[in-house]
């Protein structure tokens, strides 16, 4: 069954739109709160388990995975990177399929599949088996992140997306905290006949499959199917979207798809995604080993990943909230990039473990905030559903291409300082800072042009275009 996501599940009734030309602030807040309590939680939980299942291999290493499977450092890096190769191959085009399929079935089904793949990882006996499950894990997880990005842009008005996306994306940092705690707990349990690292995959995979079943009942295809919204709420939400992106094309358009691939804005955002993408994935997978390199035991290292992730979760939400309040993206991305660069500089410049652990907090905050800002900035300024869906998928996939390289920057032989890896990641954040600066300048000039055109339209007695880029 196909669902017309292009029209958000609404009938475009001009009379309805005109009836609610102005939705007051209290009504807007009330409707958005309903979305916050009914749309976001299940999306956040799904992404938490998605991120947990892709990065738990880092905790499994401390649980003996490399030793039991007799993996060399190169083989381990291949197993990590092959996930992103399969992930990117499907991620770029997944939103096109999302627009033709039912999200309420498509997303939970994928979750069920990757939960099963994670569970089966506990059965692998060698390098080849590990590579196979990592390939299938990447394919089954690929559609989730771009799908959720597009769903948030579909349900929420443009100026309210970053805070909501930050809430959703903070679940990734919570996944790191939860994964460290869970791995620590599982490694204290003596289960006859099963190695501790296998228990990590078994338990986390079964939990994911359980969440997938719940998701079948909680995810709705569009606002028209939302039982928590009254008819009045739906009409006002439609009006908010119409005010936000007036005259936006909603039909699927191959021309818009081509425009997305040739847009200079999207290409700049794609390189920005590389700047924040390599650090977040390399750091998330190798953080237990980085902390272990400070001289802590395996068990203690897993526990010590929890506070930085919790700190990043809170920080991501606060930055997202402030970004929406100010209706700005670039200045915040520049700020968190500088924070991350300072964190990596601490790793490179001192042997003091206390200072290096403090640097971990700065890096974790920067890379999670940076990814949240970049992902939403990509979609905020694209008009047309097909162009926005394609552009967001392309930018996100580009960022994950960098994760393939990030899988190789922390080889075991470079420990415990990992100077090369930290330097590469720091340079990537420098790239993010530069692209954010250039993009902000360009968008400001575009808004000045739109202001001039609006004044000219008013002088001719015509209605001006209210759309302005979010800088």
Residue 10 has pLDDT above 50, yes or no: no
Each residue of 146-193: pLDDT tens digit? 888 878 878 888 778 888 888 877 887 777 777 777 777 877 777 667
- Contact call for residues 465 and 450 (beta carbons, < 8 A): yes
Residue 22 has pLDDT above 80, yes or no: no
- CA gyration radius, the chain: 22
Query: Cis omega (within 30 of 0) on the bond before 416?
Result: yes
Please state, for a pLDDT cut of 70, what percent of the chain lies above it: 92
Share the mean pLDDT of the chain.
85
- CATH 1.20.1250.20 assigned to domain 22-221+234-241+253-459? The reply is yes
> Domain map of the chain by residue range?
22-221+234-241+253-459
Residue 37 has pLDDT above 80, yes or no: yes
Beta-carbon count within 10 A of 462 CB: 10
pLDDT score at 198: 92
pLDDT score at 14: 36
pLDDT score at 15: 34
Those residues with Cβ within 8 angstroms of residue 117's Cβ, 6 or more apart along the chain or in another chain: 133, 136, 137, 140, 205
Residue 394 has pLDDT above 90, yes or no: no
Each residue of 63-85: pLDDT tens digit? 889 999 999 988 988 998 898 88
Each residue of 268-308: pLDDT tens digit? 999 999 999 999 888 887 888 899 888 888 878 878 988 99
Each residue of 117-151: pLDDT tens digit? 999 999 999 999 999 999 999 999 988 988 888 78
- Start-to-end Cα distance in the chain: 39
pLDDT score at 99: 65
Residue 252: pLDDT band by 50, 70, 90 thresholds?
low
Q: How far apart are CA 439 and CA 338, in angstroms?
A: 17
Q: How far apart are CA 432 and CA 343, in angstroms?
A: 15
The residue among 467 and 4 whose pLDDT is bigger is 467
pLDDT score at 210: 96
Beta-carbon count within 10 A of 26 CB: 8
pLDDT score at 151: 85
Q: How far apart are CA 254 and CA 319, in angstroms?
A: 35
Those residues with Cβ within 8 angstroms of residue 454's Cβ, 6 or more apart along the chain or in another chain: 464, 465, 466
Most distant pair of Cα atoms in the chain: their distance: 82
Please state, for a pLDDT cut of 90, what percent of the chain lies above it: 41
């Amino acid at each position: 069954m196909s669902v017309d996501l292009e029209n958000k599940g609404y009938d475009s009734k001009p009379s309805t739109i005109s009836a609610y030309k102005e939705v007051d602030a209290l009504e807007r807040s009330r409707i958005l709160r309903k979305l916050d309590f009914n749309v976001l939680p299940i999306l956040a939980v799904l992404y938490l388990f998605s991120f947990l299942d892709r990065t738990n291999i880092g905790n499994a290493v401390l649980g003996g995975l490399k030793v039991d499977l007799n993996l060399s450092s190169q083989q381990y890096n291949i197993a990590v990177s092959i996930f992103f190769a399969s992930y990117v191959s499907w991620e770029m085009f997944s939103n096109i399929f999302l627009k033709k399929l039912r999200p309420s079935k498509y997303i939970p089904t994928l979750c069920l599949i990757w939960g099963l793949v994670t569970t089966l990882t506990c059965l692998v006996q060698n390098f080849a088996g590990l590579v196979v499950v990592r390939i299938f894990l990447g394919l089954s997880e690929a559609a989730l992140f771009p799908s959720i990005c597009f769903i948030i842009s579909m349900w929420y008005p443009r100026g309210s997306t970053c805070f909501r996306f930050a809430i959703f994306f903070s679940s990734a940092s919570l996944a790191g905290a939860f994964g460290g705690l869970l791995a620590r707990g599982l490694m204290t349990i003596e289960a006859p006949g099963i190695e501790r690292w296998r228990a990590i995959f078994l338990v986390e995979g079964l939990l994911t499959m359980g969440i997938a079943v719940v998701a079948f009942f909680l995810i709705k295809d569009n606002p028209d199917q939302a039982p928590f919204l009254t008819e009045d709420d739906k009409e006002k939400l439609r009006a908010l979207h119409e005010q936000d992106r007036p005259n936006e094309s909603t039909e699927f358009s191959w021309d818009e798809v081509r425009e997305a691939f040739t847009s200079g804005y999207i290409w700049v955002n794609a390189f920005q995604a590389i700047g924040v993408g390599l650090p977040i994935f390399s750091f998330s997978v190798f953080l237990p080993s980085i902390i272990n390199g400070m001289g802590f035991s395996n068990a203690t290292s897993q526990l010590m990943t929890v506070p930085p992730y919790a700190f990043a979760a809170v920080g991501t939400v606060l930055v997202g909230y402030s970004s929406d309040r100010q209706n700005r993206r670039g200045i915040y991305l520049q700020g968190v990039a500088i924070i991350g660069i300072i964190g990596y500089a601490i790793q490179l410049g001192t042997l003091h473990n206390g200072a290096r652990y403090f640097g971990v907090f700065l890096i974790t905050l920067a890379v999670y905030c940076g990814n949240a800002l970049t992902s939403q900035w990509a979609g905020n300024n694209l008009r047309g559903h097909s162009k926005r869906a394609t552009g967001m998928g392309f930018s996100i996939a580009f960022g994950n291409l960098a994760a393939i390289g990030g899988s190789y920057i922390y080889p075991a032989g470079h420990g415990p300082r990992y100077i090369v890896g930290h330097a590469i990641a720091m340079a990537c954040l420098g790239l993010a800072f530069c692209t954010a600066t250039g993009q902000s300048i360009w968008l400001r000039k575009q808004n000045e042009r739109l202001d001039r055109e609006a004044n000219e339209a008013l002088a001719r007695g015509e209605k001006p275009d209210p759309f302005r880029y979010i800088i």
